Amino acid sequence: MYYVIMKSDDIGMNLATEQYLMNEKSFDEPLLLFYIEKPSIIVGRNQNTYEEVNADYVEQNNITVTRRLSGGGAVYHDLGNLCFSFVVNNSTDAFGNFKKYTQPVIDALHKLGAASAEGGGRNDLLVDGKKFSGNAMYSKNGKTFSHGTLSWDVDLDVLTKALNVPADKIASKGIKSIRQRVTNIKPYVDPQYQNLTTEEFRDVLLLTMFDAADVAEIRSHEYVVTPEDQVEIDKIVKEYYHNWDWVYGKNPEFSIQKRQHFSMGTIDARINSNAGKITEIKFYGDFFGTEPVQSLADILTGVNFDRAGITAALADVNLGQYFNGIDKEEFIDLLVK
């Protein structure tokens, strides 16, 4: 087995590195990647970013949002989370067989004292019935990567505020809130490991998985990204992970209703969106205005369905002509919250 320790704490750079190494490099043994990043949310390939993310909280707290190539659900990362990824040649039982790739991690955690760590459900890892890891897969051209999270010392309060978890998904787990469902693995390892930083935990986990006493013993198994590699990786970052069209423009078509009562009347907005843009919007309610609201709907049609796009579209608009006495910022909040 070979390994790569990512130097970047940017989720886009790390996902691009993983994508590049899978698609452009060949290894005669599995490749293990470790990466740690600043606060970020990564939605699954087939998810609607707007539905998964608490947009206002994310913006106010400078949390990066991106989309990954693999399916599955949205996850929150911060510097207390360790990501791992196995890149392998396809085998007949590879895709969907999460245990094949998570078992080495579970075995290593058992050696560190987390005896109750186990696989749970389709693609989670649990300890005492609580989730500390989610996993996803992606295959292309005879290669597969299986990557996952390891919550070591994640700020779980931020996690619960940054993600929008559907009530039915929480209910299906027999609990009342996401905070009750998730945990860090740190309290479950032996006391000698509980003061480790995320980087130190990564290094101990790496040595445990290689059954080595020192990094010097496995240095020959390390792959170091070259300057030539980095040029190509930077291109992938721009094309995918730091690209609005990839993160939001890949959203599926959906409809949503936003309704709020203001002191000067109620606004009921019915919005259709596709590829991250407003394709149709209609307003109903008992509000007053001097101009027909269809004119406002025309202004908003085609703009990016996010705070920045709507704010820019309304910059020179006198909203009082359509909704007398209703503040523009409150109106924008209605549409995007």
pLDDT at 79: 97
Domain limits for position 321? 254-336
* Residue-level pLDDT, tens digit, the chain, 337 residues: 999 999 999 999 999 999 999 999 998 899 999 999 999 999 988 788 888 888 889 989 999 999 999 888 889 999 999 999 999 887 655 666 788 889 999 999 999 999 999 998 778 899 998 999 999 888 888 888 999 999 999 999 999 899 886 544 434 444 344 555 889 999 999 999 999 999 999 999 999 999 999 999 999 999 999 999 999 999 999 999 999 889 988 878 888 888 888 888 889 999 999 988 999 999 988 788 888 899 999 999 999 999 999 999 999 999 999 998 899 999 999 998 8
What is d(CA 99, CA 90) in angstroms, rounded to the nearest whole number? 15
**Amino acid letter for position 80:** G
As beta bridge partners, residue 146 has 86, 137
CB within 8 A of 56, min separation 6: which ones?
Answer: 307, 333, 336, 337
pLDDT at 256: 87
Which tokens in the block code for residue 298?
A: 């025309």
**Amino acid letter for position 117:** A
Lookup result for tokens 């590195």: 17
Same domain for 108 and 165?
yes
Lookup result for tokens 């590879």: 94
| Residue that finishes a domain, picked among 247, 267, 283 | 247
pLDDT at 289: 84
Please state the domain count of the chain: 2
Same domain for 7 and 59?
yes
- Alpha helix ranges (H) inside the chain: 11-24, 49-52, 55-60, 99-111, 156-162, 167-172, 178-181, 198-210, 227-236, 244-247, 293-300, 307-313, 328-336
Residue-wise burial string across 158-191, b where 16 or more C-beta atoms lie within 10 A, e elsewhere: bbbbbbebeeeebeeeeeeebeebbbbbbebbee
| Residue that finishes a domain, picked among 216, 247, 278 | 247
Same domain for 287 and 163?
no
Same domain for 240 and 267?
no
pLDDT at 2: 95
Q: What is the pTM of this model?
A: 0.79
Same domain for 135 and 150?
yes
Same domain for 237 and 268?
no
Same domain for 258 and 168?
no
Same domain for 169 and 307?
no
Same domain for 192 and 307?
no
| Residue that finishes a domain, picked among 187, 218, 247 | 247
Same domain for 212 and 263?
no
Any idea what the CATH number is for the domain that residue 154 is in?
3.30.930.10
Any idea what the CATH number is for the domain that residue 277 is in?
3.30.390.50
pLDDT at 180: 58
- Alpha helix ranges (H) inside 138-265: 156-162, 167-172, 178-181, 198-210, 227-236, 244-247
Same domain for 159 and 264?
no
> Could you give phi then psi for residue 84, rounded to 5 degrees?
-130, 155
Same domain for 88 and 171?
yes
